[in-house]
Amino acid sequence: MILALAFVSAYAGSFQALGQAPAADFDADAVCVKSQEDADRSRVDIYVKVPFTNLGFNASPQGFVARYRIDADISEIEDDGTLGNKLESPVWDRTVRVPNHAETTQNDRFDLTTHSLMLAPGDYLVELSLQDESSGDAFVRELPIHVRDFNRAVGISDLLVLEDYDAERNVILPSVSNRLGADRLGFSLMYEVYLDRPQSIRISRQVFQTASTISDDAEATPPVTNEMLYVDGDMTHVESSRSQHIVTIPIANFQLGQYVVRVVVEDAAGNRLDEAEERFTVDWKGLAEHIEDIDAAISQLVYIAKPKEMRHIREGRSVGEQLSRFLDFWKRRDPTPATRRNERMEEYYYRVAHANERFGTLVDGWKTDRGHVVVMFGEPDYVESHPYNFNVEPYEIWYYYRIGKRFIFVDRTGLGDYEILIPIWDERTRIR
């Protein structure tokens, strides 16, 4: 696309990551557009986003440097779904420099690159292999690509979800992961429209939620529901044979879950000429790195939810229904229902994440006695620690002056597995 190369130097490293890092440890996406040089092939722009935390940085006179290589093996997909001929294997090397070590460990820093290919219409599988030069670590991601045929009177490119768009500087930042925070009011969507002659057309944008169902097939693509959550469009007269469009899609009232945005091009009589669609996910606001999935989030409610409330949420017939019931649970506890944030929910899951990080060993930290107390009451006001005492097991006393409670934990094994003292002889030591 016209702006596709403008994002690298302007935004690389300044984006706040919104989703949990995938198993492949880097994100990749592909966008197909009409080629300006070859009528028989289309241009495919491959975007790759690599977190700094997955790269090995070495000290240098210019700061800290990381180097990695990406190999892209491209194979045709036959009509029966099997892999056919391997077409090409482009390779690109990257060097990343930062001024200080602190930046190499920040979760919101990444390297963002693009690489363009020329492919004939059809289906392909691109296997992206990332090799880190310093650590020797290798990560692989498979990226299926459908290359569309633009040799038609009217056509539309693939859709590109943007994380940010600076209209004044004409600079874009592709989302790549297509995971958007639930705190956003909307996001920008970019696409191109191709015409063989000037004419009036209607371009409409539609958003549907996917029918999220519990399935044993983790690779299955959720179907799209028939309920249209958002639609807009207008008739416009287009003179150019290639026009670029960047529009805003509102998501302020969307629940957590997966969605499809579809752009449809019609003539003045309402006949559909072409369409393109892209999937995106609305994720936890500020909680994406702490909440891995809905099942875990429901299980972690055990300290504050009644058994019948837990059963009600779990008995949802689909992931979407479970999410809806889960959010209803927290909506009833929202201290500021007039605002879009639920501070109580955020605080609870931040405490869970902190307990996991601090007390997790063979079990999740939130399941330990100390983790239980942290989730319920937050950090103590004062900790009296006795790790080494002759003839006395290590113990800690946690004081919560603001609520008039204290908790005593004893390490009976000597391995750091502190358990709350039982029997509880002091009412201030009760968790609930």
Residues 390 and 347 in one domain: yes
Top pLDDT among 191 and 53 is at 191
Top pLDDT among 414 and 339 is at 414
Top pLDDT among 409 and 183 is at 409
Residue 174 burial class via C-beta count within 10 angstroms: exposed 0-12, middle 13-18, buried 19 and up: buried
What pLDDT score does 327 carry?
86
Tens digits of residue pLDDT in 270-299: 999 999 999 998 876 556 555 667 888 999
Residue from 25, 27, 327 nearest 173 by CA: 27
Using an 8 Å Cβ cutoff, are 208 and 320 in contact?
A: no
Residues 169 and 309 in one domain: no
Among 268, 285, 302, give the residue marking a domain's end.
285
Q: Radius of gyration over alpha carbons of the chain, in Å?
A: 26
Top pLDDT among 148 and 220 is at 148
Using an 8 Å Cβ cutoff, are 64 and 100 in contact?
A: yes
The contacts of residue 221 (CB under 8 Å, 6+ apart) are none
Question: What does the pLDDT average to over 379-401?
Answer: 85
318 has a pLDDT exceeding 70: yes
The contacts of residue 393 (CB under 8 Å, 6+ apart) are 410, 411, 412, 414
Task: Give, to the nearest 10 degrees, the angle between helix 343-359 and helix 369-377.
Answer: 160
Question: What does the pLDDT average to over 231-255?
Answer: 91
- On average, the pLDDT of the chain sits at 84
Residues 6 and 104 in one domain: yes
What pLDDT score does 271 carry?
95
Residues 156 and 221 in one domain: yes
What pLDDT score does 253 carry?
78
Using an 8 Å Cβ cutoff, are 390 and 410 in contact?
A: no
One-letter-per-residue 3-state SS of 307-360 = HHHHHHHHCCCCHHHHHHHHHHHHHCCCCCCCCCCCHHHHHHHHHHHHHHHHHC
Q: Which helix (H) or strand (E) holds 231?
A: strand 224-238
What pLDDT score does 213 carry?
40
Residues 224 and 275 in one domain: yes
What pLDDT score does 14 carry?
29
Most confident of 107-111, 158-162, 420-424: 158-162
Tens digits of residue pLDDT in 15-33: 222 233 333 478 999 999 9
What pLDDT score does 426 carry?
56
The SS3 assignment for 363 reads: coil
Question: What does the pLDDT average to over 66-85?
Answer: 92
Residues 270 and 319 in one domain: no
Residues 363 and 388 in one domain: yes
What pLDDT score does 211 carry?
64
Question: What does the pLDDT average to over 410-426?
Answer: 76
What pLDDT score does 157 carry?
97
Residues 75 and 165 in one domain: no
Residues 127 and 211 in one domain: no
Among 285, 310, 325, give the residue marking a domain's end.
285
Q: pLDDT-based confidence at 428, cuts 50/70/90?
A: low
Percent of the chain exceeding pLDDT 90 equals 48
192 has a pLDDT exceeding 50: yes
- Token readout for 261 is 């945005």
Residues 275 and 308 in one domain: no
Terminal C-alpha separation, the chain: 58
Residues 384 and 413 in one domain: yes
- Cα(382)–Cα(428) distance, integer angstroms: 15
Q: Which helix (H) or strand (E) holds 420?
A: strand 418-420
The contacts of residue 402 (CB under 8 Å, 6+ apart) are 381
Among 149, 169, 187, give the residue marking a domain's end.
149
Residue 344 sits at φ, ψ, to 5 deg, of -65, -40
CATH of the domain at 209: 2.60.40.10
Question: What does the pLDDT average to over 55-76?
Answer: 93
- State which residues form the domain around 25: 1-149
What pLDDT score does 291 carry?
66
- Cα(180)–Cα(161) distance, integer angstroms: 10
- Cα(356)–Cα(344) distance, integer angstroms: 19
Residues 46 and 97 in one domain: yes
Please give the tally of structural domains in the chain.
3
What pLDDT score does 196 carry?
94
Q: pLDDT-based confidence at 184, cuts 50/70/90?
A: confident
What pLDDT score does 125 carry?
94
What pLDDT score does 193 carry?
97
Sheet holding 395-400, edge to edge: 382-386, 395-400, 405-411, 418-420
